[in-house]
Amino acid sequence: MRMMAVIVWSVLVATLSSRMIDMKVDASAVLESAWSPRDFELRLDPENDEWREAPRVTASRNYVGEPIAGRPTEIRSRWTNANLYLLYINPYDELNLKPGPTPSVETPRLWNWDVAEAFIGSGVDRITRYKEFEVSPQSEWVDLDIDREDPQGQAGMKWNSGFTVKSRVDARARIWYGAMRIPFAAIDTRPPQKGRELRIGLYRIAGVDPSRRFYAWRPTGQTSFHVPQAFGTLRLK
């Protein structure tokens, strides 16, 4: 009987230890977003009141998990009852910019140049459905409706989220800043509330060939960002 109790206790301890390890792993895959009582202008100074204490994560590896030399990309987040805010802090060696930028309209295939990206999904039943948002150092933008299971049925660039962006390049510091304001109505059918979680992938494409870099907060294990199984969690706090 005593031997049985020892065995049961050992199994229980091992199970609890395993769960604690899982919780630690899960915590590393979470970007928390701090609530703001009011919407605010897209300001690009990380020391501004809106951003100074905002939760953040960094991306220092590429999409297959290899370390990227140099300073990491940093992403901070806030939210209000209407919008999700993201600020990207992007150190660079050399910018790859599209000639003749037109930030007043959507830019097709923006990912061919320097860009910061967010992939966001709300449904857990079909994780292959999500929205893609991009901003460039020149305040260019594109938003897309993605369905990996039904590419022919997805809206793609025809979809319009109503999101807004703003960018600034600090040539002396060799950092470019990009901010997004994304309406919650564009990414979730539910109104936002504290504790709510969404799926999110945070990425960046930087530089010129043959030294182009593909930053991923959560590496996908493939030479593509479009691996929704690898997304992390966005938690509203």
Distances (CA, A) of 11 to 16, 24, 237: 9, 20, 35
Does residue 110 sit within a domain?
A: yes
pLDDT of residue 26: 63
How many other C-beta atoms lie within 10 A of the C-beta of residue 186?
A: 18
Does residue 85 sit within a domain?
A: yes
Which residues, 6+ apart, have CB-to-CB distance to 71 below 8 Å? 91
* Mean pLDDT of each 10-residue bin along the chain, 237 residues long: 42 40 62 98 97 98 98 98 98 97 97 98 89 98 92 80 98 98 97 97 96 97 97 97
Does residue 180 sit within a domain?
A: yes
Distances (CA, A) of 139 to 17, 164, 222: 47, 9, 28
CATH of the domain at 153: 2.60.40.1190
Does residue 25 sit within a domain?
A: no
Question: Considering its fold, how many domains does the chain have in total?
Answer: 1
Does residue 18 sit within a domain?
A: no
Sign, CA torsion 107/110/116/117: positive
Does residue 102 sit within a domain?
A: yes
Range of the domain at 173: 32-236
Does residue 72 sit within a domain?
A: yes
